[in-house]
């Protein structure tokens, strides 16, 4: 494995060589959205920024935990919902339009890939844009829910508080920590990896098996892997090339090299 921190042309060229003229699947994590103003859990400052995320088993078992979760949800949503795609998201969409990217598997719940124009997106952990009732299955728009939350708590101003990485929206349509990703969704993502010629990991430490399983799958299939992430990842030893720059800089440069070589 080779690594780079400052964008050396040889390393970018090597990464482009690995990905060029291949069906590339992109696996993204929180690191691709930090430049949109959404903090991550495991970046350089992530673990020190916040309390631990609420676990699924606690959410289901405790009414007090659900109330606390809804409060944190109301705090995070205004900022989270106004986040916009950055250059990293735009580059993934550009590569998809060019036919270089055949699928996107994201661990994020922000829908910034779709906002940037991507279509072939599998949301491993769901999305915060809708909330599903755990009893009747009714789907409600998250903005509508926010209005109800604030109406029930007059005089409270959630904008005064800090945002959490996932917006902490009450999630029934999002996979919580400790909850399993639906099997059908995992199988769909595996099928996308199986049909690919290369895997690009962008902005994930892969500390959680939910995302790492696809790197493991690619390794067992002999599919080359490029990892672009600031900080160490679980897949560093499995990567053909390792890039450690901010994705808003390195992904556009990488895309230029990939697409230039295909002309």
The catalytic site residues sit at 125
Confidence (pLDDT) at 154:
76
pLDDT in tens, 206-237: 998 889 999 999 999 999 999 999 999 999 99
Q: Distance between CA atoms of 213 and 43, rounded to whole angstroms?
A: 20
DSSP code of residue 86: -
Beta strands in 210-252 (DSSP E): 225-228, 241-243
The position carrying tokens 């915060």 is 128
- pLDDT over 80 (residue 244): yes
Domains of the chain: 2-262 (3.40.50.1220)
pLDDT digits (tens, 9 = 90+) for 100-115: 999 999 999 999 999 9
How many angstroms separate the CA atoms of 226 and 59, rounded? Answer: 36
Tell me the whole-structure pTM to 2 decimals: 0.81
The structure tokens listed for 56 are 């699924």
**pLDDT tens string 99-153:** 999 999 999 999 999 999 999 999 998 888 888 877 788 888 888 888 888 887 7
Confidence label for 73 from pLDDT (cuts 50, 70 and 90): confident
């Amino acid at each position: 494995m080779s690594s780079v921190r400052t964008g050396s042309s040889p390393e970018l060229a090597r990464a482009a060589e690995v990905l060029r003229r291949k069906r590339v699947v992109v696996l993204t994590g929180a690191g691709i959205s930090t430049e949109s103003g959404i903090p991550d859990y495991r970046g350089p400052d992530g673990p020190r920024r916040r309390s631990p995320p609420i676990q699924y088993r606690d959410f289901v078992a405790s009414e007090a935990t659900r109330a606390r979760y809804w409060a944190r949800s109301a705090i995070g949503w205004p900022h989270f919902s106004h986040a916009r795609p950055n250059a990293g998201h735009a580059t993934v969409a550009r590569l998809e339009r060019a036919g270089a990217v055949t699928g996107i598997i994201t661990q994020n719940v922000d829908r910034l890939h779709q906002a940037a124009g991507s279509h072939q997106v599998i949301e491993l952990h769901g999305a915060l844009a809708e909330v599903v009732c755990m009893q009747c299955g009714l789907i409600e728009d998250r903005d509508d829910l926010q209005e109800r939350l604030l109406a029930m708590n007059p005089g409270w101003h959630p904008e005064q508080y800090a945002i959490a990485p996932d917006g902490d929206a009450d999630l029934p349509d999002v996979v919580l920590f400790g909850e399993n990703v639906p099997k059908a969704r995992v199988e769909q993502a595996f099928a996308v990896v199986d049909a690919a010629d290369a895997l690009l990991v962008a902005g994930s430490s892969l500390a959680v098996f939910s995302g790492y399983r696809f790197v493991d799958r690619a390794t067992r299939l002999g599919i080359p892997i490029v990892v672009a992430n600031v900080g160490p990842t679980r897949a560093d030893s499995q990567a053909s090339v390792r890039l450690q720059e901010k994705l808003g800089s390195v992904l556009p440069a990488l895309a230029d090299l990939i697409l230039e070589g295909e002309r």
